Amino acid sequence: MTEAQPISTKSASGPEPELNKYFKLAVKTKASDLHLKAGQPPKLRVQGSLKNTNTPPMPAEQIEKLVLELFSPQQKDFFMEHGQIDFAHDLDGENRFRINVFRQRGVISLAARRVESTIPPFEQLHLPPIVEKIAGHHQGLVLVVGATGSGKSTTIASMIDFINRTRSSHIVTVEDPIEYIFKDGKAIVSQREVGIDVANYDEALKSLMRQDPDVVLVGEMRDAVTVTAAMRAAETGHMVFGTMHSEDAPQSVQRLLDLFPQVERDLVRQTLSLCLRSIISQKLLPSIKEGVSRVPVVEVLLANATVRKLIAESREGDLTTVIKSSLNEGMQDFTYNLCELIKSGTIDPKVGFEYAPNKDELKMALKGIRASTSGLI
């Protein structure tokens, strides 16, 4: 991923960027994303599906003109050199967009993710109650994982906001770019944007401990430097949050380790086994419940003694079994949560089976039968 660049700004007396009318349409229709591609009409992602707008297909020249209106001279130079750029765009003080402009087949395309102006609490996000308990801890590493568009950023923002509202502390975020804007509550929140407040992630992470943080958000776990800084902060008594693009807890552990050279992985395993607090994995599913467009299906791993032992012994493949056998501790697997969502009438059973890791297991769970999980250790 390229480094974020400064948010484009226009003079108060200058013309409004023409692209804003599409951003406003995204807000009006509650779309999550806007896509511009040459030869296609602008498309909006509404309730998970891409839909055409009532606009004729755009030629490459028109898209380039629209995009260049958003760029500062520095952003234009960066884009010309790298062929892509990430930045945030403030529409009206209430609505923000996280934008990626990139070249494909020699022409410019744009993908913009709408960032909600308010940070919803756990209940509105339909997250399990254990998430509040996880956010209430004062030390350890919490990973929120899932595919792009699975709601990871919103879940972490809700957890950070909970801490902000309930705990006297200093929260430091390092983001690329900043998505949600936090207003100081009981806590003070310092948000550093890569490319604006600090040159790059490396510099931000090197100076992190000098800023006296209690809670840290390091954004995406993208390389060994980021992971090392996050684990070091968690080891030294801080609460640390990060995201990863991975499917579930076992895959998250493996992908994190894959960021390191083979000779370092044993030490990283031992460190992770000691500092990990939780891995929250989620996917967004369409909902059939009135007033709810999409709902997350969530897997929760809590780092108990068994989990730490399995990670240290290179047995992360068994973590799912621990989750299934530890529902009384607040853990839950995807099958358990899918079963709950189907029984409560929140999702269509067909959707549940489509996303089920094991369809037969879900079928059994709906009948009240849980798979045996004995004999793990």
Q: Show me where the domains of the chain are located.
A: 20-115, 122-366
Average pLDDT over residues 90-98: 83
**Stretch 336-353: mean pLDDT:** 97
φ, ψ of residue 3 in degrees (nearest 5) = -70, 145
Min mean pLDDT across 92-96, 229-233, 245-249 is at: 92-96
| pLDDT tier, 194 (very low <50, low <70, confident <90, very high otherwise) | confident
Specify the CATH architecture of the domain 122-366.
3-Layer(aba) Sandwich (3.40)
Q: What integer is the mean pLDDT of 148-172? A: 95
Cis link prior to 177 (omega < 30° from 0)? yes
Compute the distance between CA of residue 161 and CA of residue 185 in angstroms, rounded to an integer: 9
pLDDT at 143 > cutoff 90: yes
Q: In what order do the strands lie in the sheet with 49-52?
A: 49-52, 43-46, 33-36, 107-115, 96-104, 84-90
Instruction: Provide mean pLDDT across the span 114-128.
Output: 89
Question: What gap in Å lies between CA 37 and CA 107, rounded to an integer?
Answer: 9
Tell me the CA distances in angstroms from 152 to 2, 88, 125, 131, one per residue in order. 20, 18, 11, 13
Helix (H) / strand (E) containing 26: helix 20-28
Tell me the mean pLDDT in the region 126-154. Answer: 95
Residue 141: predicted pLDDT = 98
Instruction: Say what the pLDDT of residue 149 is.
Output: 84
Distance CA 317, CA 280 (A): 16
pLDDT higher at 262 or 198:
262
Q: What's the pLDDT tens digit per position in 286-315?
A: 999 998 989 999 999 999 999 999 999 999
Contact between residue 277 and residue 137 where contact means Cβ atoms under 8 Å apart? yes
* Arithmetic mean of pLDDT, 30-38: 94
* Architecture field, domain 20-115: 2-Layer Sandwich (3.30)
What mean pLDDT, rounded, does the chain reach? Answer: 91
Please tell me the predicted confidence (pLDDT) of residue 83: 93
Q: What is the mean pLDDT of residues 176-183?
A: 84
Percent of the chain scoring above 70 in pLDDT: 94
Q: Does pLDDT of 10 surpass 60?
A: no
The band of 41, judged by pLDDT with boundaries at 50, 70 and 90, is very high
Residue 47 pLDDT greater than 90, yes or no: no
Tokens 């895959």 belong to residue? 251
Cα–Cα nearest to 205, from 214, 192, 189: 192
What mean pLDDT is predicted for residues 59-79?
Answer: 93
